[in-house]
Amino acid sequence: MNRAETGQLFDEIISYYPSYERRVSADPEGMIDKWQAVLQHTPLDFAIAKLKEYASLPDNRFAPHPGALAKVKTELERYYEQQQAAGAVTLEMWDDMRRKAVPPTEEQRRKVEELRGR
């Protein structure tokens, strides 16, 4: 979700919770920045659907916090992200070793040949 979509989300929240407009209008840019940081990987449609679900529950009398509308990753998604990150680190280490690798010295070659019995 980008900044413009975050603003649209605020409009949607205000339509469900009109008193929330005072809070947003106090520091709109700051609120957008903070919410966008939390919701940057959440599609707007998903957040609006979560808002509708949140607003439909009678206990939710106050506007939601950004985490209530964020897309929560499943355990499997977190596992694959961790595996992908670990694989990227391993590949980077191998590339680094290939770049820095040097052939054995003549002395090392001679000793290996002696050990092999040639």
- Give the pLDDT score at 6: 94
Q: How many angstroms separate the CA atoms of 8 and 110, rounded?
A: 73
Q: How many angstroms separate the CA atoms of 107 and 118, rounded?
A: 15
> What is the per-residue pLDDT across 60-108, written as a single tens digit (0 to 9) for each?
999 999 999 998 888 998 899 999 999 999 999 999 999 999 999 999 9
- Under DSSP, is residue 96 helix (H, G, I), strand (E, B) or coil? helix
- Give the pLDDT score at 73: 82
- Give the pLDDT score at 118: 66
Least trusted range by pLDDT, from 1-5, 23-27, 81-85: 23-27
**Once rounded to an integer, what is the mean pLDDT over residues 42-53?**
95
- Give the pLDDT score at 117: 84
Q: At what angle do helices 3-16 and 44-56 cross, to 10 degrees?
A: 20
Q: Are 42 and 71 in contact (CB under 8 A)?
A: yes
